[in-house]
Amino acid sequence: MAKILVFVEQREGTLKKFSKECLSEARRLADAKGGRVAAVLAGTEETAAQCTSYGADCIYFSDHSGLTAYSTEGYAEMVCAAVRAFQPDVLLAPASSQGKDLMPRVTARLDVALAQDCTQVVWQEEMQLEWTRPIFAGKAFAQVRLSGSPQAGTLRPNVFPLQESGDRTAERISLNESLSLSGIRARVTETQKFAGQTVELTEADIIVSGGRGMKGPENFHLVQSLAETIGGAMGASRAAVDAGWMEHRYQVGQTGKTVAPTLYLACGISGAIQHLAGMSSSKYIVAINKDPEAPIFKLADYGIVGDTLQILPLLNQEIKKIR
């Protein structure tokens, strides 16, 4: 019987979408072995209760004042406390910015290996998992098996299907008394919210990105307008960010954000390997570029050869008619 523990992120009392995906995948893996799923999160008991809808049989939570703001050390202490209590065979977390920061600290404390940013997890013989993760900027995939227990990995957002488990009851256990948070040396003191982007880039189901072919910052309103029309988020290539046309928080790529939406529209983006590494896991890719030999067309499911600045307004207009 497999026991799987999932680190869950929440914001303002609501579970993040990629955490729901992790719970759903944990439920699938556990059901294949007749196992149990536990969740661990910093938040109230009411917030913890949301985990039951996505497969948790047991929930460890802490509403300790020292965990109100994120800190690597504090959250690592919380996750390790849950590991000691639940004794899992597998430890999962989303490959979000927080998950990628937290899990190396957790696995170092547990003295186990970690598979980062995985796109597939399958059972092999007995209780051994095989983790598939992109390497060499997405040009190849490594299949990894980890020794030691628990086997730990982070899952790429928007790759694993979200599935609700229906009616389920779960035991909720507070970790407050088992935590020692006196050694925290650094913590987040403030979180700034940016106006204008209603959908978080890494969680967006649709992304419209602009590149050097937009020819200047004054034309990125075309990208933003199309993104708003189809209910998506706006992104940018490294070339556009390096040129100062867009802020770094919009950058998609190896040195920006890794995304895996259902639909990715690349507008005036040639398709450098650095950019492809950040969006190649998208389910459908549509490319618009005036160069028919642009590398992006080799990866795209659909391609439009033409001037991006002329095509975007027409595309936006036609979509508005349909909607």
Q: Are residues 23 and 163 located together in one domain of the fold?
A: yes
CATH of the domain at 264: 3.40.50.1220
Q: Are residues 170 and 227 located together in one domain of the fold?
A: no
Buried b (16+ CB within 10 A) or exposed e, 166-187: eeeebebbebeebbebeebeeb
Q: Are residues 172 and 208 located together in one domain of the fold?
A: no
Strands 10-11 and 14-15: antiparallel
CATH of the domain at 131: 3.40.50.620
Q: Are residues 168 and 286 located together in one domain of the fold?
A: no
Question: 268 is written with which tokens?
Answer: 């005036």
Task: Work out the pLDDT band at 311, boundaries 50, 70, 90.
Answer: very high
For residue 192, being part of any structural domain is answered with no
Could you read off the pLDDT of 39-84 as tens digits, one per residue? Answer: 999 999 999 999 999 999 999 999 998 888 899 999 999 999 999 9
Q: Are residues 123 and 252 located together in one domain of the fold?
A: no
Residue in 202, 208, 236, 238 with CA at minimum distance from that of residue 223: 208
Boundaries of domain holding 232: 201-322
Task: Work out the pLDDT band at 87, boundaries 50, 70, 90.
Answer: very high
Task: Work out the pLDDT band at 195, boundaries 50, 70, 90.
Answer: low
For residue 248, being part of any structural domain is answered with yes
pLDDT exceeds cutoff 80 at 194? no
Place of tokens 């549509």: 286
Task: Work out the pLDDT band at 196, boundaries 50, 70, 90.
Answer: low
Q: Are residues 46 and 120 located together in one domain of the fold?
A: yes
Q: Are residues 150 and 209 located together in one domain of the fold?
A: no
For residue 190, being part of any structural domain is answered with no
For residue 196, being part of any structural domain is answered with no
Count: domains in the chain:
2
pLDDT exceeds cutoff 60 at 20? yes
Where does the chain have alpha helices with state H?
A: 17-32, 45-48, 72-86, 97-110, 220-229, 238-242, 273-279, 296-299, 308-322
Could you read off the pLDDT of 132-184 as tens digits, one per residue? Answer: 998 887 788 999 999 989 999 999 998 999 988 877 788 999 999 888 877 78
Share of the chain above pLDDT 90, in %: 76
Query: Is residue 304 within 8 Å of residue 288, measured between CB atoms?
Result: yes
Could you read off the pLDDT of 229-241 as tens digits, one per residue? Answer: 999 999 999 999 9
Rounded Cα distance between 211 and 267, Å, is 6
User: CA quadruple 106, 109, 112, 113: dihedral positive or negative?
Assistant: positive
Q: Are residues 77 and 37 located together in one domain of the fold?
A: yes
Could you read off the pLDDT of 254-304 as tens digits, one per residue? Answer: 889 999 999 999 999 999 998 998 999 899 999 999 999 999 999 999 999
Q: Are residues 133 and 227 located together in one domain of the fold?
A: no
Look at residue 101 in the predicted model and tell me its pLDDT.
95
Residue in 155, 79, 149 with CA at minimum distance from that of residue 113: 149
Could you read off the pLDDT of 200-231 as tens digits, one per residue? Answer: 888 899 999 999 999 999 999 999 999 999 99
